[in-house]
């Protein structure tokens, strides 16, 4: 297995908690899956991988209509407005602000609406950079950890650096924090950090293994985040907890902290005793939920019809490796079934788009006339209602199957 050290304390000692398998193209850097492990020294939970995804091309965050961070939906816009309002209480509107991993610039736009005038974004995706610039905000292409090397002279120093839902993606978050402080933070500058709250995953198991995915490789608790920043000489000035929308119907827990660099600050690393049992409980609940999904699919898919899968997100990567859908694809069970198409509205997914599906459902040739009878399996729990609305809006006559009975999915 890869020999990734703990992202917090750099210890090599760890305990395996769970092996996550994905159904991904062979060229994907995580096609083999990974072990979720717990650090034996500090208690941090993380993915034992030696690479992260490349967000420079085909980033899922590049599509402003479907991704979070753009503020293009009412619920995402509200989330960004709440974060911007809090930031306005810790720095004045003339402060020089840098948003690292700004996606389509939604948070920066919310700050601009509050009167902030000195805003800069940075993101590895050219499409995200272009969308942010369209909002009238300066944005540069780049990312961590090479930010300090390429952009130190160009960007200079900032009064506030924002890392909102960034650290959970990084192979070496400590290195990134140190580089930012060394090259881009003013002498009394602040860092605002927001991450998913791993200790409370278990309280909101909406979709099985939702947070154990190809993107989130670090799982922070409040103590884990403090441990990480303290190792680089940062003192926590303020902290909080909140629920943030993950879709129109569902929310997920998050932590936010404000840190300031203080080389005189002393802190002794504390072992997190609570994160491991919380994650184990989350894994057990996810296992039961995935099992219920499999039972529901087996009860609702007939052995004589192909199916259309709608929703090519993180959950589908797991469904295609751990449920009946894996059998349908491989042909090892119920061989008369096959997956006719995978559909997703985000072009970065590489799946068939909606117009292509409509052409198939309403074909010109009689040979394909049975496409309209293929069941559509909505392969998302977070966004099932929006997908259902799209199906109805297109007027598709296909029968629709949710992953769970609707009384369980509300």
Give the percent of the chain with pLDDT over 70.
82
Are residue 235 and residue 384 in the same domain, yes or no? no
Beta bridge partners of 100: 122
Are residue 262 and residue 131 in the same domain, yes or no? yes
289 in any annotated domain: no
Are residue 253 and residue 326 in the same domain, yes or no? no
Are residue 261 and residue 337 in the same domain, yes or no? no
Three-state SS letters, 38-95: EECCCCCEEECCCCCCCCCCCCHHHCCCCCCCCCCCHHHHHHHHHHHHHHCCCCCCCC
Q: What is the mean pLDDT of the chain?
A: 85
402, 393 contact by CB (below 8 A): no
DSSP 265: -
Average pLDDT over residues 173-182: 89
Query: What integer pLDDT is reported at residue 298 of this predicted model?
Result: 87
Average pLDDT over residues 302-324: 84
Range scoring the smallest mean pLDDT among 5-19, 50-64, 170-184, 299-313: 50-64
Query: What integer pLDDT is reported at residue 340 of this predicted model?
Result: 82
Are residue 87 and residue 221 in the same domain, yes or no? yes
Query: What integer pLDDT is reported at residue 335 of this predicted model?
Result: 42
354, 389 contact by CB (below 8 A): no
Read off the pLDDT of residues 12-22 as tens digits, 9 standing for 90 and up: 999 999 999 88
Are residue 179 and residue 309 in the same domain, yes or no? no
For the chain, how far is it from start to end, CA to CA, in angstroms? 39
Residue 63 vs residue 86, higher pLDDT: 86
Read off the pLDDT of residues 365-384 as tens digits, 9 standing for 90 and up: 434 457 788 899 999 999 89
CATH number of the domain residue 348 falls in: 3.40.50.720
Q: What are phi and psi of 330, to 5 degrees?
A: -85, -20
Distance separating alpha carbons of residues 392 and 395, to the nearest angstrom: 5
99 in any annotated domain: yes
Average pLDDT over residues 154-163: 89
- Res. 107: pLDDT tops 90: yes
Average pLDDT over residues 225-241: 93
Are residue 56 and residue 199 in the same domain, yes or no? yes
Give the number of domains in the chain: 2
Read off the pLDDT of residues 67-87 as tens digits, 9 standing for 90 and up: 566 667 888 899 999 999 999
Are residue 245 and residue 312 in the same domain, yes or no? no
User: For the chain, what's the residue count?
Assistant: 410
Could you tell me the pLDDT band of residue 24, with boundaries at 50, 70 and 90? Answer: confident
Are residue 162 and residue 95 in the same domain, yes or no? yes
Distance separating alpha carbons of residues 182 and 176, to the nearest angstrom: 10
Q: How many CA atoms lie within 13 A of 112 on its CB side?
A: 17
- pTM of the shown model: 0.88
157, 118 contact by CB (below 8 A): no
Which residue matches tokens 């509200």?
Answer: 78
CATH number of the domain residue 239 falls in: 3.40.50.150
Residue 232 vs residue 2, higher pLDDT: 232
Beta bridge partners of 162: 99, 192
Could you tell me the pLDDT band of residue 211, with boundaries at 50, 70 and 90? Answer: very high
278 in any annotated domain: no
Beta strands in 216-313 (DSSP E): 218-219, 234-245, 251-261, 307-310
Query: What integer pLDDT is reported at residue 146 of this predicted model?
Result: 58
Handedness of CA 169, 170, 173, 178 (dihedral sign): negative
Region of residue 156 (phi > 0: left; psi between -120 and 50: alpha; otherwise: beta):
left
223, 304 contact by CB (below 8 A): no
Average pLDDT over residues 381-392: 90
Q: What are phi and psi of 326, to 5 degrees?
A: -65, -40
Are residue 319 and residue 250 in the same domain, yes or no? no
- Res. 277: pLDDT tops 50: yes
Residue 169: both structure tokens together: 């993606």
| Domain span including residue 380 | 301-401
Query: What integer pLDDT is reported at residue 403 of this predicted model?
Result: 94
- Res. 165: pLDDT tops 90: yes
286 in any annotated domain: no
334 in any annotated domain: yes
Are residue 194 and residue 239 in the same domain, yes or no? yes
Are residue 66 and residue 186 in the same domain, yes or no? yes
Beta bridge partners of 336: none
40 in any annotated domain: no
Give the percent of the chain with pLDDT over 90.
54
365 in any annotated domain: yes
Average pLDDT over residues 260-282: 90
Residue 5: both structure tokens together: 């050290």
65 in any annotated domain: yes
Burial of residue 118, with CB atoms counted within 10 A of its CB: 0-12 exposed, 13-18 middle, 19 or more buried: middle
Q: What are phi and psi of 183, to 5 degrees?
A: -115, -20
Could you tell me the pLDDT band of residue 409, with boundaries at 50, 70 and 90? Answer: very low
Could you tell me the pLDDT band of residue 99, with boundaries at 50, 70 and 90? Answer: very high
């Amino acid at each position: 297995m890869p020999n990734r050290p703990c992202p917090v304390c750099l210890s090599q000692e760890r305990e395996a908690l769970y092996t996550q398998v994905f159904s991904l193209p062979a060229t994907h850097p995580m096609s083999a899956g990974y072990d979720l492990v717990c650090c034996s020294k500090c208690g941090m939970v993380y993915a034992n991988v030696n690479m992260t995804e490349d967000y420079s091309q085909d980033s899922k965050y590049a599509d402003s209509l479907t991704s979070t961070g753009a503020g293009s939906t009412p619920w995402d816009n509200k989330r960004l407005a709440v974060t911007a309002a809090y930031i306005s209480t810790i720095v004045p509107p003339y402060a020089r602000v840098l948003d690292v991993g700004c996606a389509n610039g939604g948070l920066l736009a919310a700050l601009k609406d509050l009167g902030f005038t000195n805003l800069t974004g940075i993101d590895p995706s050219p499409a995200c950079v272009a969308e942010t610039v369209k909002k009238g905000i300066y944005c540069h292409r780049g990312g961590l950890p090479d930010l300090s090397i390429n952009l130190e002279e160009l960007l200079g120093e900032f009064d506030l650096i924002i890392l909102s839902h960034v650290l959970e993606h990084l192979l070496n978050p400590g290195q990134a924090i140190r580089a930012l402080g060394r090259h881009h933070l003013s002498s009394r500058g602040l860092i605002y950090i927001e991450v998913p709250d791993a200790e409370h995953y278990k309280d909101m198991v909406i979709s099985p293994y939702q947070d154990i995915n190809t993107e989130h490789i670090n799982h922070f608790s409040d103590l884990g985040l403090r441990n990480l920043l303290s190792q680089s000489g940062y003192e926590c000035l303020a902290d909080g907890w909140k629920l943030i929308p993950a879709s129109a119907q569902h929310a997920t827990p998050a932590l936010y902290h404000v840190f300031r660099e203080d080389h005189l600050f002393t802190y002794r690393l504390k072992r997190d005793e609570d994160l491991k049992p919380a994650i184990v409980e989350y894994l057990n609940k996810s296992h039961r939920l995935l099992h219920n999904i499999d039972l529901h699919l087996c009860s609702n898919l007939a052995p004589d019809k192909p199916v259309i899968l709608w929703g090519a997100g993180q959950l589908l990567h797991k469904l295609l490796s751990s449920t009946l859908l894996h059998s349908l694809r491989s042909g090892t069970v119920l061989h008369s079934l096959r997956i006719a198409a995978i559909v997703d509205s985000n072009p970065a997914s590489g799946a068939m788009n909606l117009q292509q599906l409509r052409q198939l459902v309403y074909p010109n040739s009689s040979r394909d006339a049975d496409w309209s009878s293929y069941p559509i399996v909505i392969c998302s729990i977070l966004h099932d209602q929006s997908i259902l609305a799209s199906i109805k809006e297109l007027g598709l006559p296909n029968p629709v199957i949710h992953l769970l009975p609707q009384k369980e999915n509300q």
